[in-house]
Structure 1
Amino acid sequence: MMDMTVAPEKPDPDGIDQMLDELAALPVPDPSGDLVARVLVDAEAHLPAPGGRVVAAPWWQQIVRGIGGWGAVSGLVAATATGFVIGVGAVGDTGVDSFWTLGYDAAYDDTNLGLDAFGWALEEG
């Protein structure tokens, strides 16, 4: 069992400095000519064709890119849908059903209409 009253050994700062100095003194190998040639060929493959012109992205792609990509767009859609559902649910608890019955005849009332906050379903009486 380890004694908790004794401090663990501290590293020797002089030993670390000496080790880093020895590591820095080692020669660094140059990359092979084959590696350099492959990197240059790959770089040329990614260059645009000579005389080409830059095509502007459509406005919706610029908006998606400006927001942060499709992940950010999906997060905004989820937050919007959640906020809408929470907002509609809050109206249902207040007893204000006239919001849902706009445009209906006065013969309908909330007991016959059966519009609820999350389903918006017409129930038969």
Structure 2
Amino acid sequence: MTVAPDKPDPNGIDQMLDELAALPVPDPSGDLVARVLADAELHLLAPGGRVAVTPWWQQIVRGIGGWGAVSGLFAATATGFVIGLGAVGDTGVDAFWTLGYDEAYYDTDLGLDAFGWALEEG
């Protein structure tokens, strides 16, 4: 039977899998078992030992993705904060920029103005 090269032969695949399943599985060598057991002993605690407790902040840093991820989050937060402060200047909200000063204290001597306000006043 001729099969097109772009279409797999389903009977041939089943036959190949049956042949692979019938092959005997070799036992691991004694050397391999000894190396696996020696590696496992390295990961065991010493008798009477305790697991070292990792500080909570190291667990958080590791959970986030390491110091690179923390620095990226810090940069994004700082950038968002700066962009957010710059956006308030165009809304006309002067209570934010006067930082709680009353109208009696608000004059040009304070120097608390945004670029947009300086353009509006002339």
TM-score bracket for the superposition, by shorter chain length: 0.5 to 0.7
Letter of the aligned partner of 2:109 in structure 1? Answer: Y
Q: Pick from 15, 19, 42 the counterpart of residue 18 of structure 1.
A: 15
Q: TM-score, normalised by structure 2?
A: 0.65
Change over 3 Å in CA distance of 1:42–1:68 after alignment to 2: same
Change over 3 Å in CA distance of 1:94–1:9 after alignment to 2: closer
Instruction: Give unpaired runs (5+ residues) of structure 2.
Output: 116-122
2:32 match: 35
Question: Secondary structure at 1:100's aligned position in 2?
Answer: helix
The Cα shift of 1:75 comes to 4.1
Letter of the aligned partner of 1:69 in structure 2? Answer: G
The Cα shift of 1:115 comes to 5.6
1:108 match: 109
Q: TM-score, normalised by structure 1?
A: 0.64
Letter of the aligned partner of 2:65 in structure 1? Answer: G
- The question of 1:84 aligning with 2:85 is answered no
2:47 match: 50
Q: Is the 8 A contact 2:97 2:113 kept in 1?
A: no
Q: Pick from 56, 65, 68 the counterpart of residue 64 of structure 2.
A: 68
Change over 3 Å in CA distance of 1:14–1:107 after alignment to 2: closer
Which stretch of structure 1 is more off in the superposition, 45-54 or 97-106? 97-106
Question: Secondary structure at 1:94's aligned position in 2?
Answer: coil
Instruction: Give unpaired runs (5+ residues) of structure 1.
Output: 1-6, 117-125
d(CA) in 1 for partners of 2:10, 2:19: 14
Calculate the aligned-residue CA RMSD, in Å: 3.0
Instruction: Count residues with an aligned counterpart.
Output: 107
The Cα shift of 1:22 comes to 0.7
Question: Secondary structure at 1:89's aligned position in 2?
Answer: helix
Change over 3 Å in CA distance of 1:109–1:68 after alignment to 2: closer
Aligned-residue sequence identity (percent) comes to 78
d(CA) in 1 for partners of 2:8, 2:51: 57
